[in-house]
Amino acid sequence: MSQEEREKVLFSNHLHAIGKLDYVKDQSKKVECILCAVRENDSRVTALKVYQEELLFISLNLYPYNPGHLMVIPTRHVEKFEDLTKIERERIFEVVIYCQKMLRAIFSPSGFNVGYNQGNFAGASIKHIHVHVVPRYDQELGFIDIIGNGRIVVEEATQVMAKIQARIPDFILSPDVK
């Protein structure tokens, strides 16, 4: 079985973000790395970048689990966490904490999923490593809503982006945020 056939079976037999795999495969024909293209503001990809500094940048997820679903991404193209420098690792996880504090202030979530997927069979659809920061709520959709293909979009990405960009200076840039 080819890699493409294995991926098709893997994703078609499990819940997934509708259109995400098609988007990633389509973009990979246009650019070498989607996240590097986002970093460079490449017009060939849809970018929802909200912040950038020397070691990392932050982007809203184009296929969010919830409003405010952020990705903290190393600026340097890295495919495995073990290949990050100590300084990159420390800054990424420091910013993940700041993102949680910011999202808590903006959206008041009940909790967070924070994590990364490394490799196709671990769920990674993009090779450039990144950390997901997903706000979670006690009244999210249940199993029946999901299998019934019902989805409620609470806020448009542009509205979420504006809220986050307005608060970035308070959390990411402020040295006294603890």
Query: Residues near 177 by Cβ (< 8 Å), separated by ≥ 6?
Result: 98, 101, 170, 171
Cα–Cα distance for residue pair 111/66, rounded to 1 Å: 12
Active-site pick, 69, 128, 130, 132 = 130
DSSP H helices in 53-174: 86-107, 143-147, 157-171
130 is catalytic: yes
Cα–Cα distance list, 148 to 15, 17, 20, 24 (Å): 12, 14, 19, 25
In sequence order, the β-bridge partners of residue 112 are 135
- With 0-12 CB in 10 A as exposed, 13-18 as middle and 19+ as buried, what is 137? middle
* Catalytic residue set: 130
